[in-house]
A and B are shown apart, each in its own frame.
Chain A
Amino acid sequence: MSGILVILEQPHGMSIEALAAAQQIASELGQPVFAAIVGNDAPAVAAYKVEKVHAVVHPLLAEYTSDGYRIALKQLIEQHRPSCVLFPHTYQVRDFAPALAASLGRVLVSDVVGHRAPNGSLVLVRQLFQGKLNADVRFVGDGPWFASIQAGAFRAENAVKGDAAAPIETVTPALEASQIRTKPLERFRESQRAVDLGAAERIVSVGRGIREQENIALVEDLAKAMGAELAASRPICDNGWLPMERQVGSSGQTVAPKLYVAVGISGAIQHLVGMKGAKTIVAINKDPEAPIFEVADYGIVGDLFQTVPALIEALKK
């Protein structure tokens, strides 16, 4: 049993970050890297430095189902017996990978943000309590070890390309229509986005710390005073206090403005992945341990109901 198998979803984005993670971990453990991808994108993956790309192809895998992916990838893993299987931590991976690992009697370490490889063993870092704490996690017993890599934890540009294209091996899993129990229907979007936060130069974003819907106006005033678009973390939009199109984070928009001001946002990883590309980040929060301060350039630890009015005043000067 040897080798790191990285199972990609697409030949770009978080999948390539997971591939970068696989290359880095493999070199530290002295093991080869193999890639696998369901569908027809294997040639784009083969440009990267991997031993081989497994193209998993079957008509029943044309549309994603948890059953189809679990059954097909289980066969691949049983056949190749890698020591470690990595995924990008996407919504789709979250839907099937825990079941895939469990079907092989293993646990997936989800949402990995870092790693160490002391003495040939593997320690993975993940977050607890919405990013307030980190944990070093170690596998007990034999591989294959399963882990999914959070967005932004590894850099896609660090993924190494190969001197020549890696060989592609097409595998057709044994899969019957009767094994797929769910019937996926059309994908759809509810409404067109009227606000493009991605183009905003400055964003003032509000989180749970605002407590009541009527207090949103205060943060709106700050946004006006800064010439900024107003945005929010997920709970604010879930409550219907601001429309969903103003949500920043893994389930909303990804933004990279010149200035991002986080007001009353603790900074759970789901929010951070959507905004940590901002050039200058300001955090205003009453909890000095809030994870938002880890990414902030400037911070004010204090009550936003005092700080925000004072800021609006200071901006007038």
Chain B
Amino acid sequence: MKIVVAIKQVPARDSLLKVNASGTWIDDTDLSWEINEPDAYALEAGLQLREAASGEVVVLCAGPEHATQTIREALAKGADRAIHIETDESAADPLVLAKQMAAALEFEKPDVILTGLQSDDLGYGQTGVILAEVLGYVHATLVMSIETTGSGIRVKRELEDGWFQNVEMPLPAVLTIQSGAAKLRYATLMGIKKAKSKEIKAVPAAAGAAPLVTLERVYFPPKSKKSQIFEGSPQETAAQLVEKLRFEARVL
């Protein structure tokens, strides 16, 4: 089974973000980067699927040069090889991105493409679904687990309000993986060593797909509610808060 896992590199979760000078995206100098957390779960699902069904895990990542660090980490965790779509466009709309990914996969003919349910930066939550549409593959979102059947796969999907549903489908398919469905593995020392010699094929981003939505302005959200922020030592702020909760809000 050929398994492609599409991953994205995003600013580290604790980053203090700044808006760039033109006010259209973040200022991405001096940031540290990491794998988009939902994609880490997709990678884990891909590695587990390979362990169950044998085959190969190919990492697919669109991003600038520093994305290679995240790609290496995925290889160190056990992916077999990688395709790096080289692009500096960090806020591309998901249709542009999906078309670039489809072009990069032209000769790969994967059986399964996995990706996280959404990115922590743009958060459209659409790239996997659109990639399926562009490739003509069947898809399922919010997948918790994957089993192979005789003719295809059966996946467990998360629905709203604590409900789940099993869905059967043929291959090839695109699945977006729900976070938290499995425990993430760490890279071993041996894995890190091996990753150095694994192939990362760099391909240029396919041209021609014009963006259909633009980020006109990026800004910190205006405070909608007037909150009282307490200042001082932990003891002082705690005392002020308890006082307010008892005598102003009257909720204690």
Contact = CB atoms under 8 A, between A and B. Distances in A.
Interface stretch (B49-57, B75-83, B230-238): B230-238
A9 to B, nearest CB: 10
A289 interface: yes
Given A108-B124, A314-B239, 4 more contacts: A103-B133, A136-B219, A181-B138, A299-B230
Nearest to B142: A91
B49 to A, nearest CB: 18
A287 to B, nearest CB: 7
A302 B94 contact: no
Contacts of B140: 66, 95, 182
B165 A134 contact: no
B170 interface: yes
Contact of A300 (B93, B220, B237): B237
Contact of A314 (B16, B129, B242): B242
B238 A311 contact: yes
B189 to A, nearest CB: 24
Interface in A67-81: 67, 70
Size bracket, chain A contacts: 35 or more
Contacts of A217: none
Contact of A98 (B122, B129, B180, B238): B129
Interface string A244-285: 100000110000001100000000000000000001101100
Contacts of A311: 238, 241-242
A134 B158 contact: no
Given A139-B212, A139-B213, A99 B121 contact: no
B141 A293 contact: no
Given A90-B160, A136-B215, A140-B211, A307 B238 contact: yes
Interface stretch (B1-9, B103-111, B190-198, B243-251): B243-251
Interface of A: 66-67, 70, 90-92, 94-96, 98-99, 101-103, 105-111, 123, 126-141, 181-190, 193, 202, 208, 226-227, 234-235, 237-239, 244, 250-251, 258-259, 279-280, 282-283, 287-289, 291, 293-303, 306-307, 309-311, 313-315, 317
A183 B138 CA distance: 11
A128 B122 contact: yes
A107 B99 CA distance: 12
Contact of A193 (B159, B162, B218): B162
B118 to A, nearest CB: 9
A133 B133 contact: no
A102 B98 contact: yes
B213 A295 contact: no
Contacts of A102: 95, 98, 129-130, 133-134
Nearest to A133: B218
Contact of B229 (A131, A250, A301): A301
B201 interface: no
B66 interface: no
A12 to B, nearest CB: 13
Contact of B237 (A106, A302, A309): A302
A307 B237 contact: yes
A189 to B, nearest CB: 6
A314 B244 CA distance: 12
A307 B229 contact: no
A97 B94 CA distance: 13
Contact of A185 (B26, B120, B167, B231): B167
A88 B130 CA distance: 19
Contacts of A126: 123
Interface in B198-240: 210-221, 223-225, 227-231, 233-235, 237-239
